[in-house]
Every structure is written in C-alpha cells, then in structure tokens.
Amino acid sequence: MQQFSALLLKEWRDSWRSFKLLWIPLVFLLLGVSDPLVNYFLDDILQAVGNMPEGYEMMFPELRPVDLLAASTGQFQSIGIIVLIAAYIGTFSRERQNGTATLLYVRPISYSALFFSKWMVASIVAVMSAIAGYTGSMYYTVLLYGTVDWGKFFAMVGTYCVWLLFVMALTVAMSAAFQTAVAATITIMLVPLGLVMDSLIGSFWKVSPWKLSNYGMALLTDSVLMKNYWWTFGLVMVLMLLAIIFGIAMSKRNSGNVKL
C-alpha cells in the first residue's frame, strides 16, 4: 500500500505539472456548453454572418433538453475520447522510450501497484472532465431549454463515467503492451472507430461495450430495455477487468525494454 501511495502521488504530480488536470476538464467543459449555446443562438448567428436575403426564414426543429445532452455526449464520444487517449497513451511507453522508467525498475516494484496508479490517475482526470462537461451542458440546458429528471441524469452521468473507466483501462493497457504509436493506433481502432462501426451496423446486436453510453442516454427517456443495459454494463466491467489484467502482465513483461 505504501508503494502504491508513492506511485499514485508521482502520477498525480505528473498530471498536475503537465496541466492535464486543467486543460482536459476545460476541453470537456467547452464541448459541453457549446451545443446548448450554439443551438439556442444559431438563428442570430446566421442572421449576423450568414448574408441571408431579406425576408428569408429558416425553420429549426424544437429541441428538448434530452436532445442537447445527447449532442454533448456525442461531442465527448468523438473529440473528448480522442483527447483522453492522446493524453494518456504514452503513460507507460513514453517512460520506457525516454529512459525515465529505469528509476522505477531498478528497485523492487509491484507492477500491479504501478499499473493501478497510472490507471487511477487517468480515470480521475477522465471522470472529472466528464463531470465538468455535463455540468456545463446541464447548466445551459436548464437555463435555455428546461430541465430533465435529476435522478435519471445522475444515472446517465454515472454510466458514462463507467464507460470512461473502461476506456482509460484499455488505453493504459495498450501503452503497457506496445510502443506509443502502435498503442495509439490500436486504441483508436478499438474505441473511436469501434463507436463509428457500432453506430453504422450496431442494430444487428443489442449488447456491446460501445453501446453503454447510448444506453446511459436512453435512461433519460426510459427508452432502453434494462435487460440490454445491464448485460452491456456487465460486459464492460468484464472487459475492463481483462484490460487491467492484461496491462499488469504487459507492464511486467516489457520492463526490460527500457532504453538506458
């Protein structure tokens, strides 16, 4: 436990010194507030810069609060996920490449503690970012469009945070297993591209890890079959556990690949 605490403090300081604790939540916050603000003022923006002919009117669909939260989730799933992967994909591999990992590996070390310290800090930053983004989105959604059921909203946010825990476990595990470029390619193929593929052909199956965030959003409208939700939730938990086990094993196996 003492070793884990020391490693956790090291990772936390690294994230603080690199400003990840500041700029990543800020990115999510900006993504969260952009949709309700842009959609609300879109008509004024078009009239100001669109050079529309006199008398021209554009009809916009009437948006519900759920629609704005869904749009914010879409922003997190595209831009936000890529930002998180880019920020933490080098958490193991970059240390091996620049030789700083030798300061750790020359001592007796618990690779479980090493992996968990990196994954926990990455997960804390990811969850903080999601909460910041949804807080900004919900604030302007309530202010401009109306409210949603708060219990369902918190269930949706909690579901999305579990999804982010899985994404960060996979990201750190890939960093432990491969070099940075290879790890980034594999993780992007498994997460962002996996989300795109699931949106295109996912109607053929009801349970997959990529559906968890969508099912979380569906909790707001009671449009999800809870059986599918819990099966998907359980699948994500199992895959997260497998990613953690794989990451610990790979961090130990690749400990000899440190550049001196």
Write down the domain spans for the chain: 2-256
Give, for all 260 residues of the chain, the pLDDT tens digit.
778 888 889 889 988 998 999 999 999 999 999 989 888 877 666 666 666 666 556 666 778 889 999 999 999 998 999 999 999 998 887 777 765 666 666 667 788 888 999 999 999 999 999 999 999 999 999 998 988 899 999 999 999 999 999 999 999 999 888 887 888 888 888 898 888 888 888 788 899 999 999 999 999 988 889 999 999 999 999 999 999 999 999 888 876 665 55
**Number of residues written out for the chain:** 260
CB-based contact 212:159 (threshold 8 Å):
yes
CA distance 149 to 156: 11
DSSP secondary structure, 100-154, as one string: TTHHHHTS---HHHHHHHHHHHHHHHHHHHHHHHHHHHHHHHHHHT----HHHHH
Residue 205: which residues within 8 A CB-CB, separation 6 or more?
Answer: none
Q: Please list the alpha-helical segments (H only) found in 18-64.
A: 20-40, 42-49
Distance between CA 57 and CA 73 in Å, rounded?
30
pTM of the model: 0.90
How many CB atoms neighbour CB 162 within 10 A? 17
Cα 234 vs. chain centroid, distance in angstroms? 18
Neighbours of 147 (CB within 10 A): 11
